Amino acid sequence: MRVLVVGLVLVALGSVASADGPVGVAATVDKRGITIGDPITLALVIETDAGYQITESGVGRTMGEFEVLEAIPAQVTRITNGRTRYTFRYRVTAFRVGDLFFPPINVAYRSPDGVPGVVPTDEIPIVITSVIRPGEATNDIKPAKPQLRLPTAPPQIPQLAVQVGLAIVVLVMLALIIRQTRRAAARRPKDTDIGEVLLTPAQRAMAELNRVASLALPEKGRYAEHYALLSQTLRSYVRDRFGLSANERTPRELRDDMLRAGIDRTEIATIYEILIEGETARFHQAVSYPARARHAVRSALDAMRRAAVAEQYELMKGQPS
């Protein structure tokens, strides 16, 4: 059934581009107009001659103004003349109202002789509209009421208490790390620099990210300031830990520098995506949402927690056993 649906979409909205070449690609969507946040099914169909290999589908977590919500397992079929068809499907959406374009997808491949190549798809126009219809009054829209709780339900922990608890856990972790670092410093020769900074770059970034989260700037509509603080924190982390000129580089240039430096690709992707969101919020005045901004903080904190663990392993390896 899914194959049939994809086939009908392809017939309705387009056919495989560059069909005469060794690699042909086509991107289609099941809807050309949605309300903000609604999902769209994106189908990417790639046809290759025998011996050609697809090395990269070209679809990332974010594509221009669009965000990939889910990647559906790919399908591979044999077609006429010995060609192979790859069908990739994704659920995507956008969080900005307007006449948008889903950007071209650059599909990378390798020929039987090992020669790399790229084939792009066409961009797709998609109209994103507000859930509020033209002329509809908005003065009667009120904040959602909290759900009623059953008498036998356990007591609900306030969100503020959860945030305070998380902050306490982070502070306790930092205190333990500082204690361990001080003990290690006490075992070193006395000529060691007394003014040595006790917190690692990732630990400093975690402390600053928690401070930014406590400001609740997105809830106040101050998205530009929120993302400016996030971007500066991540740039400082990259500068201090890896010695890169992070403050003078665009997000794309910094991503290329981090790739050349051999930094973990998951960490690079998280930093790059947050920097791109920051550029959009600060310079393009795009409409954003508190939930999306809070998600950026959580993603950055997760990346810094993993980085802090890696730093501790590096410190332990650098100390005599």
* pLDDT tens, per residue, the chain with 321 residues: 444 444 444 434 434 544 568 999 999 999 999 988 889 999 999 999 988 989 888 888 888 889 888 888 888 888 888 899 999 999 999 988 889 999 999 999 999 999 999 999 999 999 998 766 666 555 555 554 555 555 665 666 676 777 777 888 878 877 777 877 777 666 655 444 433 347 889 999 999 999 999 999 988 888 889 999 999 999 999 999 999 998 888 999 999 999 999 999 999 999 999 998 888 877 765 556 788 888 889 999 999 999 888 887 777 665 443
The torsion angles phi and psi of 135, rounded to 5 degrees, stand at: 85, -5
Residues linked to residue 211 through DSSP beta bridges, in sequence order: none
275 inside domain = yes
33: domain CATH number is 2.60.40
90 and 169 in one domain? no
**Contact in structure between 257 and 244 (CB atoms under 8 Å):** yes
The dihedrals phi and psi of 119, each to the nearest 5 degrees, come to: -125, 120
* 281 and 229 co-located in one domain: yes
Q: At what angle do helices 201-215 and 223-242 cross, to 10 degrees?
A: 170
For 101, the domain range is 2-129
What's the CA angle centered on 57, arms 36 and 35, to 5 degrees?
10
Does one domain contain both 173 and 292? yes
For the chain, what is the domain count? 2
300 and 173 within one domain: yes
Q: Are residues 179 and 303 in the same domain?
A: yes
Both 105 and 19 in a single domain? yes
Tokens 């205190």 identify what position? Answer: 175
pTM recorded for the entire structure:
0.41
Pair (172, 299) in one structural domain: yes
